[in-house]
Amino acid sequence: MEQFSLIEKQESLDVLNYQIRACERCKLSVSRKHTLTGEGNINARIMFIALSPGAKEDIQNKMFVGPSGQVFNKLLYAAGIDRKLVFMTNLIKCLLPKNRKPKMNEIEACGYFLNQEIAIIQPEVIVPLGYYATRTILSKHHNNPFSEGISFKEINGQLLTLNGIKVFPLTHPSALLYNPSFETDTIEKYKKLKKFL
């Protein structure tokens, strides 16, 4: 994989972010307020991939500022990880109306941008949050365990190495809003990430 200097990374990301903000590849471009680009440390070893912006993220044009963001911050704090050291992005760059599930054409439309972000940031470990982000990342590397009957629960918190890429699927913070009983177990899984820093 080609190595980029910090300046090259930032310049490449600026060009990509411009393309993301101007995107009209699917109908989500009609209803969004913003197209949310990735943010964080461009030299990060850990890259989090969430599903999509929530309502507050769409309004404020920032990652993880709504209810899920409060949970995310709490998980990082409990795991001893500084949010400033990681890079965060979304599988889907626009708000999904009524928090509905993403459509395949929307995932495919945004997939190009996600692939470019990964190529530019070059994280040591990719952390997809939840089922859709995990399925997309694993499918990209020709290994979709969900098609073989393996559930997200079985690989949640397990380090997978696919074609030299380290993938560490984790529960999306929003799951704890509905199931607070998962918090202790989820914190333990997030703590495993600390060694990558």
| Domain 6-196 -> CATH class | alpha beta
Closest of 124, 131, 137 to residue 174, by C-alpha: 131
Which two three-digit tokens encode residue 153?
Answer: 């629960």
Q: Which parts of the chain register pLDDT below 70?
A: 1-2, 142-148
Closest of 80, 55, 33, 74 to residue 193, by C-alpha: 80
Taking the whole predicted model, whether its pTM rises above 0.85 is answered as yes
What pLDDT sits at residue 145?
65
Q: Parallel, antiparallel, or unpaired for β 165-167 and 160-162?
A: antiparallel
What pLDDT sits at residue 3?
75
Q: DSSP for 157-184?
A: T--EEETTEEE--B--THHHHH-GGGHH
Q: Where are the domains of the chain?
A: 6-196
Measured CA to CA, the distance from residue 43 to residue 69 in angstroms comes to 22
Residues in CB range of 101: below 8 A, 6 or more apart:
132
Which two three-digit tokens encode residue 49?
Answer: 């991939």
Residue matched to tokens 């990880």: 81
Q: Which residues pair with 88 in a beta bridge?
A: 39, 48
Question: From the DSSP assignment, how many helices (H) and strands (E) are in the chain?
Answer: 9, 6
Is residue 58 within 8 Å of residue 98, measured between CB atoms? no
Burial class (CB in 10 A: 0-12, 13-18, 19+), 147: exposed
Closest of 27, 65, 98 to residue 173, by C-alpha: 65
What pLDDT sits at residue 142?
63
What pLDDT sits at residue 146?
66
Measured CA to CA, the distance from residue 132 to residue 128 in angstroms comes to 8
Residues in CB range of 95: below 8 A, 6 or more apart:
28, 31, 32, 33, 52, 53, 54, 55, 57, 58
